[in-house]
Structure 1
């Protein structure tokens, strides 16, 4: 997974240029901005910083993390502002921070979390956030004929797909498509006010950590 996104870094933002996604992206940008006003945000899997840049004008501070310095180098070229920090960090082994955060973001990340590690990741992420913090995530759901074909399932029922980059390299990555019930069940263990919505190609979840 890390190697795939490292190799894909230079062309990753082409994802946001696909015409059929534009209405959803407009809605998602508004959804993020409305919810992060004056927040101190911890973002994991920030990638090239597309959503960091969306949130930056509304946020008080953002600490954006990703495991790949190559993607963060692209993020650093954006006009993010001095209140945004970019840090190389593993989403499952986040560093200790001087303060906790009032919001957490992980966009287009949940589908890459193995099913057996969902609670592990969410608990670890929550440990870096303040009680009552808002968690925001969104990702894609499966659409026959549009989504990448599923190449296999493993013993945990994780789904995998093969991706071919412009340079010809092929990667197999985990790409899960959780149901609304699965999302609600996972988040309800730690959160309240779990709200799930669906657009044309994406689902969203917002939830509050219990105090």
Structure 2
């Protein structure tokens, strides 16, 4: 999957230009800005920095991480401000970064986390945040006839889809679509005040790291 996003880095933002997503993206931007105001934010899977840029004008500071330097190079071209730091890091092995983070965000990432590693990731991610920190995530849910077709399911019930790049290269990536109940069940291990909402194509979750 890392190779797919590395190769797709220069065209990834075309995702945000799809007309049917416009209303959802406006609503999601407002949702994030309202909650990110004044935050010391740790972001994982920042990718090309689309959501980093949305949060940057209102955040106190952001440390945005991603596994791929190629996608962060795109993020670096945005007007993020000197209070935003871009760092190459594995979401499952985050280093102990300087500062105290009272907010964590991971946008369009949860669908790529294997079901058997969800709790592992969430425990690790929240361990890098302060007690009581706000956690924000958003991702897509499956829409028949709109979402990429599911190519297979593995023994852990992870779903996969095949993506084709403009150069003809094909990549099979993991793409899970959690129910509200699954999200609440997983997050309740380490978080309180869990709120899940759904728009036309996206879901959001907000929660507080348990004190």
Whether TM-score is above 0.5 comes out as yes
Q: Deviations over 1:77-99 (max 9, x none)?
A: 00000000000000001011122
Name the structure 1 match of 2:112: 112
Equivalenced residue count is 211
Q: Distance in 1 between matches of 2:149 and 2:25?
A: 23
State the distance in 2 between where 1:185 and 1:164 align: 34
* Paired position in structure 2 for 1:89: 89
- Structure 2 residue ranges without an equivalent (≥5): none
Match of 1:53 in 2: 53
CA distance in 1, matches of 2:23, 2:86: 29
- The separation in 1 between residues aligned to 2:167 and 2:185, in whole angstroms, is 40
CA distance in 2, matches of 1:95, 1:145: 40
Q: Residue 12 of structure 1 corresponds to which residue in structure 2?
A: 12
CA displacement 1:86-118 (0-9 Å, x = unmatched): 000000010111223000000000000000000
Equivalent-residue separation in structure 2 for 1:102 and 1:139 (angstroms): 21
Structure-2 residue corresponding to 1:121: 121
Distance 2:127 2:140 in 1: 26
Deviations 1:2-52 (A, max 9, x none): 000000001000000000000000000000000011000000000000000
* Equivalent position of 1:182 in the other structure: 182
Q: State the 4+ residue runs in structure 1 displaced beyond 2 angstroms.
A: none
How far apart in 2 are the matches of 1:161 and 1:148?
6
Alignment partner, residue 196 of structure 2: 196
Is 1:172–2:178 an aligned residue pair? no
State whether structure 2 residue 152 is matched by structure 1 residue 152: yes
Aligned-partner SS, 1:130: coil
Q: Give the whole-Å Cα distance in 2 for the aligned partners of 1:24 and 1:61.
A: 26
SS at match of 2:132: strand
- TM-score (ref. length: structure 2): 0.99
Aligned to 2:67: 67
Which runs of 5 or more residues in structure 1 are unaligned? none
- Write out per-residue CA displacement over residues 139-181 of structure 1, whole angstroms, 9 at most, x where no aligned residue: 0000000000000000000000000001110000000000000
